[in-house]
Amino acid sequence: MSLNTVKHTYKVTKEDREKLHKHRAFLLWFTGLSGSGKSTLANLVEVELHKKGISTFSLDGDNIRQGINKHLSFAPEDRTENIRRIAEVGHLMVNAGIVTLAAFVSPYIKDRDAIKTIVGDDNVIEIYVNTSLEECERRDVKGLYKKARAGEIKNMTGISAPYEAPINPDVEIVTDHQSVEQSVQLILDFIIQKLK
């Protein structure tokens, strides 16, 4: 960290931007195993919010790792740095008055707690996409589980690296037993009042 920087405070605030957008801004953080449905749900929730005239932006794990975090590995320390950077980006987006949807495995409780510290606890809604490992492996959308089981991928969450489930998420979606439509509606029902 540079000792020669000073935080500049601008006259237009988050609250001013929220008034302009006519809704509150916060970070919807989708966490769960690879293949749990995080990106699918974030995408569909964003579509519904967009239909309601809500200013939104989505941050997705694979997309971010192709750009801003492309040099980070999946080792624990790099996973932590990946999530820290995304939290900082999310914080900027929320301050811009935008409802931001972030879909990341984010396997460690301490990293998800750090997100709330960076963005502000009252600005983060944690959504646990609780899908069993068996179901994620059955889906294996990207073929990652097959590669991990064959030893071709190291540090695969759920296989050779841990996933620490949220203890008290704001919303829990059990995709093994709920349709995509039901899951999207549950999330919307939770957040719609918070937009006012």
Q: Is 3 one of the annotated binding-site residues?
A: no
H or E stretch covering 64? helix 61-65
Q: Is 58 one of the annotated binding-site residues?
A: no
Q: Is 142 one of the annotated binding-site residues?
A: no
Q: Is 2 one of the annotated binding-site residues?
A: no
- Alpha-carbon Rg for the chain, nearest whole angstrom, is 17
Which candidate in 2, 55, 58, 106 is catalytic? Answer: 106
Distance CA 34, CA 38 (A): 8
Q: Is 34 one of the annotated binding-site residues?
A: yes
Q: Is 38 one of the annotated binding-site residues?
A: yes
H or E stretch covering 31? strand 27-31
Distance CA 37, CA 159 (A): 18
Q: Is 106 a catalytic residue?
A: yes
Q: Is 35 one of the annotated binding-site residues?
A: yes
Cβ neighbours of residue 17 closer than 8 Å, sequence gap 6 or more: 25, 95, 96, 97
Residues flagged as binding site for ATP: 32-39
Residues flagged as binding site: 32-39
Catalytic residues: 106
